[in-house]
Every structure is written in structure tokens, then in C-alpha cells.
Structure 1
């Protein structure tokens, strides 16, 4: 697969006037019922980076899904908040037909020297290398966005296998390939089915209400995927479900963690 440029270019993301952008998410990026949530989160993050007056890397993003978007055109607008010399926060809203359908607060932060040594408390699991893992295809007739994911399960059960463990772990890349950055990482963090799916034998609707993503490494100096993605269900009950996702590069460096709060509608 060949790298094709910045994330937003894949969705014709262009500035229309001060603080506003236009993007198109076509039907190939549709999830269960509408635009893939990670893709929409990626667009919000991309707009935040473009709108900022500071060229700082993304450190975190909190995304809220406010309605029922459809595939097609989106209008996005951003507001920047300068917080001291090293931190910038941007509030970004995506609209369709003048109605907000998603919003995010994206934190950008300057790198800085510190006396505290770097460390990570989430080591990558020991799994086979990506080329040694068989391909797995999400059914594109049900989830069209599955055609954009190259998934190679590396550990844990498969979705809808009636397993006893609510966890999936796989090497994942995007097709067409995109540079591994904060926007594309949001897509990868939402590439696997909901974390409780290995427990099930038939799919149910589990839409994401909120997605929180934290960046742990400098994504600007990385190449393309595949990356190792581990998604696990933390809890489900009372019609709600919480998933945690970790993403490592091929050298075992922790890149991104994410948490999704979901409604269970089945």
C-alpha cells in the first residue's frame, strides 16, 4: 500500500472561510448506522491541528457524538484557546444541515525537557509479527468501513465467537494507507468491533457516545501502520458499555490509549 498524504485530503477537507472547513465522508467509510465514529473523530482532530496558531503535537482529544450523522458533507468550525506558553486547546464542532452532530476538545502541547525519565506502564503483549498472522475481514456488506481496515488478529478471541473473554488484539493498517498521525490513530482506535462482541454470537447496536484519546509518543516521526491494537471491554451494564483500547507500534512503543463510552441497544 502506498502512502497518500495527510488524513484530511482523503476526505477533501478544505478551508471555506475563517474558522470553517468542509469535508465529505463517503459511503465507503460508513460504520453500523452512519459515518464511522473514529473517522469523524479524526476529522475533528485534523481541523484542530489546522486551526491552531501553534504547531504543537496532539496530546489528547475528547470527542462527543451529539446526534445521528449521515455520510456526506460536513461543515466544521474551530475555536482556539491559548493556555500558557506550552498548551493550546481547540473546541471543534461538526455540523450537517446547520445541526451539530459531533464535537471535540483537542489538546495540543509543546514538547519540553523534564528531569523525570520516560516510562510506560502498558507494555505490548507478546504476539506473532503481523506477516505471520492471518487476515480477518469485517463484513463490508454490513460495515462498509471494514474494507478500509487490514486486520490480522494476533491474540484473543474473534468477534461474535461466543467466547469467555471480552478482548480482541490485532495488527491493523488502513487501506488506502495513511501516515500514522493523531487523526489516523483515532480511526485505528475505533477499527475493531465493540469490546463485548467476542462474548456474543450475533451483532447488536453499540453506538459510541463519547471517545477519549491520549497520545503517548511523537506520532510525527513514525511511518505507516500496521500497529498492534488491543481493545477490551471494561464493563457493560444498565444499557451502557465501556471499552479501553491500546495501540503500540511494531517495536512495542505505546502510541495511543483510548476509552469509549457506548450505549447498548440490543
Structure 2
């Protein structure tokens, strides 16, 4: 059983390859389930004046969903395609996010925090933002946003939950209690998280989340799914063998899958 629930495609402006190329690659490498999960359009900034290539234009969203479902039908019986969205959580824009989430028949919606205000903490072009901020305070603001995202009820799982570490900026305060507090919120909301393997190819050189967070998830009974965060077809399922091995080593025996916003656990 091979799954990959986090992928991006050329519509988002910073990935390569059309949706069908990902489907064909998934068939080639033997995935059983493929999640198509491009970025939600930007809603809190003007795309025309912001950094280019951040997300698909709003006018492309209906075409994205339509193409996903056409591919789901076209490849039925060959691979199980799940239609998803990485729905950025933007504090203060919950109603706008909800309209997008409720307007389409998603199989799942990933709750991810990239933006703190208008600053995208995951964008390599915006690293100067760290120079004028206290790293400890950024971490606290970030995890506060993740907790608020979880409480909205709009998402099925939280994506790359500690992506704040992506570029190697580390707090000098111990954030373990804050991490646990955030995971406790996720547990109370009956959400899953993803083990996003893409951190292995980034400056942090560690998956999202850390082993200590995964160990805490196991003790709390928080389900985990898998995602490569591929931005090219060639990176589909990249490092997911290592991710599965880590989960098994920690003690996980099941993975979360999603269909029509319902979670189902499968053995792996």
C-alpha cells in the first residue's frame, strides 16, 4: 500500500508538471493512492503585487477541481486518486477559507500555516523577514496559528506541522511544551497530521515533524498520513520509504487515508 497525499502541480506557479504527469508517475512507481493537493488561491494579499508564483489564481480553482475529478474517473481501476487542497490558514480570513472549502467535494483538505500576516515563513525569497524578528516569538506566533487552524474545523489533517524550522532558524527557548500543547489541540479536534518527508531535502535536513513530535503523537493516539510535498513528478513519493521506516520504528502500524472528508486507517 503506497500513498502520497501532498503534491503540487504547475497551476500553483512554483511547481512543474501537469496533474496527469503526476498520475502517470504514480502508476510507474506503484502507488496505490495519490492525493492531488495544490495550494489554495491567495486570499489576503493582492497576487498582482506580491511575490509571483505563490498559488493558483482564483479563476483557476474550478478548472483544477474539474481536472482532478476527470483524472479520478479516467484512471479508475488503475490507481485511487484522492482530490484535495492545501488550504492555507490565514488568521482573520476564516470565512473566506470556509467558502472555498465548502464549495467543492474534496476528499480532504490540508491545514497548513505558511503565512504570518503577509510574511510567508516558508518562502526562500523572504528570508530577510527573520532578520528583524525574534526567533522565539516567531515560533510562538506560528504555533498559535497552527492551533487556531486546528480549531476551525475546516481541515482533515495538519500539514508539515513544524515547517517553521525549514530554513534552520532555531529558537533558544525550549519549545517542547508548545509543540505538545499544539498536538493536544489537534487531538481534541480529532485531526490527523502528516509526516512530510520533504524536510530531508531542505536546510533543516529533518522531516516535518520531528521524531519527538511523532513519538508524542503515538502516545496521544494522533493519526498520521504521508506526503512527499513533491513539486515535480520526479519527486513523487521521495523519501516516503524512509518516512514509513521511521513510523514503524516509533511504533505506528496504521496510516490515515481520506475520502469524501472521512478518515480511514489502513495497515502498512
Q: Name the TM-score class by shorter chain.
A: under 0.3
Normalised by the size of structure 1, how large is the TM-score? 0.28
> Which structure carries more strand by proportion?
1
Normalised by the size of structure 2, how large is the TM-score? 0.28
> Which structure carries more helix by proportion?
2
